[in-house]
Chain A
Amino acid sequence: MSEIENKTEHGSMDGATAGTAEDPKNDTGLGLGVIFFIVAFLICFLSGWLLFPKLLYSKHEQPFNFDHVLHVEETGDCESCHYLRDDGTFSGIPKLASCLDCHTDEPMGETVDEAVFAAEYVAKEKEIPWYVYARQPDCVYFSHAAHTEAAGMDCKTCHGPIDETRTSRPYEENRLTGYSRDIWGKNIWGIKKNPWDSMKMDDCAKCHVQETGHKGYCFQCHK
C-alpha cells in the first residue's frame, strides 16, 4: 500500500471515530445536540406559525372605508347593490353609476370617507378601485344565480356577515399567488369554523357533495 493511501487511511480513521473518540461516556456532545435541537425546533416552529403568515401576505387598504351596516339600513338588503342582472349574471361590486342613484358629488355624511368618495371619485367620475376579498382566479366560473336562485342560498353562507361590518378590513394579497387571503382563509392551516372561512375548490366540492351528491364536472365551475 502506498504512502499516501497509508496516511489517508489513518486520517480518515480519525475522522470516522472523531465524534466518540475522546470519551464515549461523556454525553455533553449529545446534551448539546439536544439543546441545539430544541432551540432550532422552537425557532422554526414558531416562525412557521407566526412569522410566515406575515411574510406571505401583503396588506392593502381599501380606497376608503365602506360602512355596510349603514348602507344595509338605508337600502334594506344586499341585492339592492349586489344584484343579479336580467340575463342572470351577477353585478358584483357596484359601479360608480349605481352609487350615484343615491349619492351626489355633495358628501352625504360628515365622515372623511364620504368626502374622499365625493371628491376623488364622484367629482372626477372615476370608478372606485375596490379590492375584492372574494375574487376568484380567471379559470373559475361561478354562478351566483345558481346558488341564490336555484339553490336558494343566502349571501352570508359564502360571504359571511359582511352586512354587519362598519369598516372595511385591509385586503391581504398572497405575495406568491396574488390571491386574496379569503380564498385560503384566515387560518394558515386552512381550518374553518364557518362555511365562509375559505373558498377553495374543496370547499365548493364539500357542499356540492352534500347538496347534489356529486362534486360536479370540471366545466361546472371552470372556463
Chain B
Amino acid sequence: MIHDKKAHKYGMVIDLDKCTGCGTCAVSCMSENNVPFKEDESDKKDSITWMRVYRLTNGRPFPDTEVVYMPRPCQHCGGKGDHGHSPCVSVCPATATDYGYDTGIVSQIYTRCFGCRYCMAACPYHARYFNWWDPVWPEGMEKYLSPNVSPRMRGVVEKCSFCYHRYQLAREKAYVNGSGEVPEEDYQTACTTACPAGAIVFGDLNNPSHKVHQIVKPDPHPDPLNPDVVGKSRNPRVFRLLERLGTNPKVYYMSEREWVRKMGDHYLDGEWDKVKNVYGSASHE
C-alpha cells in the first residue's frame, strides 16, 4: 500500500440548504458515465443511478412540513478507522473493487466482477447497482457514449467512481504541463460542475488550500466517543451519513437545519441532545 504523506483524499460536501432537488447532478452523472436506461425506470430498486437524490421530510403535518433533498453518490468509505477496509471492498471475493490509498477513491472493475452482489449487501447506502439487464441503447444513440468510461455488461455491479476518468485526464494534463500536480479546478466530478445551485463542493480533503477542506475541517484524530470514526467534521453544520457505523464516508453534508442533520444518523432517545452540541468539539486544534 502506498502510504506517503502526499496521498490525496478526495471527497465532497453537499449543501442541502442550496440543493433544489432538480436532479441535474443525477443526469449529468448518467450522461458522463454511460449509464444505461430502460423502458420502465420507476422501480427505483433496479434503476441504475450512481447519483440518487432522496427526498427527506421532517414528518410534521401541514403547514409545518419541511422538505429537503439529499443527493447520494457513492460515499467512498474509508472503512473503520479510515484504514481503507470499506464495507464493500473488504467483502469482494474476486478483488473487483479496491481502495485507492493514493486518492481515497473506491474502484469498481466491471471486467473482473462476476456479480455475486456481496458488496451491495454490505453497502448501507445502496450506492452500488447491479446490471440486471444488458444495457441497450435505442438505435443510433450509442453514438453519444463517452470513451472515457467503459460501458458495462449484464451481470456486474457498478457505482459512482467520483468521475475517476476526469482525474486520469487531469493527471495527463498535469504531466505535459510539467507541474505533475493536479490543480483543484482541473479535477471536478460531473455532478459538481453541473449543479446549477453550486451546492456540491469537491476536492482534496487532505489539502488545506482546497475549498472542501476549508468547509469540512476534517478532524485528523479519531472521535474520542467512537475510535472507528476518523475525519469527523469540525464544522458544526456538517455531518456524514450513518457516521456511527464507522464507515467513514468521504461525502459530507451540510445544513443549517437541525432536523436535517439529525436525519443523517440514528440516535437513541436523548442521545441527539448530547451529540448535537459535540459536533466539532472532538477537534484537537
Q: Chain A interface (Cβ within 8 Å of chain B)?
A: 84, 86-89, 137-139, 141, 143, 145-146, 149-150, 212-214, 217-220, 222-223
Q: How far is the CB of A212 from chain B (nearest CB, A)?
A: 8
Which one, B98, B168, B171, B174, contacts A223 given CB within 8 A?
Answer: B168
Name the A residues within 8 Å of B178 (CB-CB).
149
Chosen A-B contacts, 15 in total, with CB atoms closer than 8 Å, are: A87-B173, A88-B175, A138-B150, A138-B151, A139-B109, A143-B172, A143-B175, A149-B175, A150-B175, A150-B180, A214-B2, A217-B98, A217-B102, A218-B98, A223-B168
Question: Which DSSP category, helix, strand, loop or mixed, fits chain B's interface?
Answer: loop
Chain A residues within an 8 Å CB radius of B173: 87-88
Q: Which residues of B contact A (CB under 8 A)?
A: 1-2, 97-103, 105, 107, 109-112, 148-151, 161, 164-165, 168-169, 171-178, 180
Contact A223 B111 (CB under 8 A): no
Number of residue pairs across A and B with beta carbons under 8 Å? Answer: 75
Whether B109 pairs with A218 at a CB distance below 8 angstroms is: yes
Cα distance, A220 to B1, chains bound together (Å): 13
Pairwise interchain contact B107-A218, C-beta atoms closer than 8 A: yes
Contact between A88 and B164, CB atoms less than 8 A apart: no
Q: Are B150's CB and A146's CB within 8 A?
A: no
- Separation of A89 and B169 alpha carbons in the complex (Å): 7
- Which B residues are CB-close (under 8 A) to A145? 171-172, 175-176
Residue in B closest to A143 when the chains form the complex, CB atoms: B172
Which A residues are CB-close (under 8 A) to B169? Answer: 87-89
A149 to B179, CA, bound (A): 11
Q: Which of A87, A139, A212, A217 has the most CB of B within 10 A?
A: A217
Please provide the 3 A-B residue pairs with the shortest distance between their CB atoms, ordered closest to farther: A88-B172, A145-B175, A218-B107
Min C-beta distance of A201 to chain B, whole Å: 10
- Measured in the bound complex, the distance between the Cα atoms of B101 and A212 in whole Å is 14
A74 to chain B, nearest CB (A): 25
Question: How far, in whole Å, are A173 and B43 apart by their CA atoms in the complex?
Answer: 43
CA distance A141 to B174 in the complex (A): 17
A88 near B174 (CB under 8 angstroms)?
yes
In the complex, the chain A residue whose C-beta lies closest to that of B99 is A217
Residues of the A chain whose Cβ atoms lie less than 8 Å from the Cβ of B176: 84, 86-88, 145, 149
Other-chain residue from B110, B112, B161 in contact with A219 (beta carbon distance below 8 A):
B161
A contact residues around B165 at 8 Å (CB): 141, 223
Instruction: Please name all residues of chain B whose beta carbon is closer than 8 Å to the beta carbon of A150 when the two chains form the complex.
Output: 175, 180
Query: Within 8 Å CB of B2, what residues of A?
Result: 212-214
Measured between beta carbons, the chain B residues less than 8 angstroms from A86 are 176
In Å, the complex CA distance between A138 and B169 comes to 16
Q: With A217-B98, A223-B149 as given contacts, are A143 and B171 in contact (CB-CB < 8 Å)?
A: yes
- Find the A residue at minimum CB distance from B148: A223
Find chain B residues with CB under 8 A from A146 CB. 171-172, 175
B180 lies within 8 A of A139 (CB): no
Query: How distant is the Cα of A118 from the Cα of B175 in the complex, in angstroms?
Result: 37
Whole-angstrom CA separation of A200 from B165 in the bound complex: 21
Give every chain A residue within 8 A of B111 (Cβ-Cβ). 137, 139, 222
Residues B172 and A223 in contact, CB atoms below 8 Å apart: no
A142 (CB) vs chain B CBs: closest residue: B168
> In the docked arrangement, what's the CA distance between A138 and B110, Å?
11
* Bound: A220/B173 CA distance, A: 15
Nearest B residue to A139 via CB reads: B111
A68 to chain B, nearest CB (A): 25
Chain B contacts for A88, CB-based, 8 A: 169, 171-177
Closest A residue to B2 by CB, please name it. Answer: A214
CA distance A88 to B173 in the complex (A): 5
Determine the distance from Cα of A170 to Cα of B165 in the docked complex, in whole angstroms: 33
Beyond the given A88-B169, A88-B172, A141-B168, could you list 13 further A-B residue pairs with CB under 8 A, ordered by the A residue number? Answer: A87-B172, A88-B173, A89-B169, A138-B151, A139-B150, A143-B175, A146-B175, A149-B176, A214-B2, A218-B97, A218-B109, A223-B150, A223-B168
Chain A residues contacting B112 (CB-CB under 8 Å) are 218
Q: How far is the CA of A146 from the CA of B109 in the complex (A)?
A: 21
Query: Which of chain A's residues has its CB closest to B164's CB?
Result: A219
The chain B residue sitting closest to A146, CB to CB, is B175
Kindly list chain A residues whose C-beta atoms are within 8 Å of the C-beta of B101.
217
Q: How far is the CA of A212 from the CA of B172 in the complex (A)?
A: 18
Q: Closest CB-CB distance, B91 to chain A, in whole Å?
A: 16
Min CB gap B113→A, angstroms: 11
- For A213, what are the chain B residues with a Cβ–Cβ distance below 8 Å? 2
Interface centre among A88, A143, A212, A220 (most CB of B within 10 A): A88
Measured between alpha carbons, how far is A212 from B150 in the docked complex, in Å?
27
Q: Does A89 lie within 8 Å of B172, measured CB to CB?
A: yes
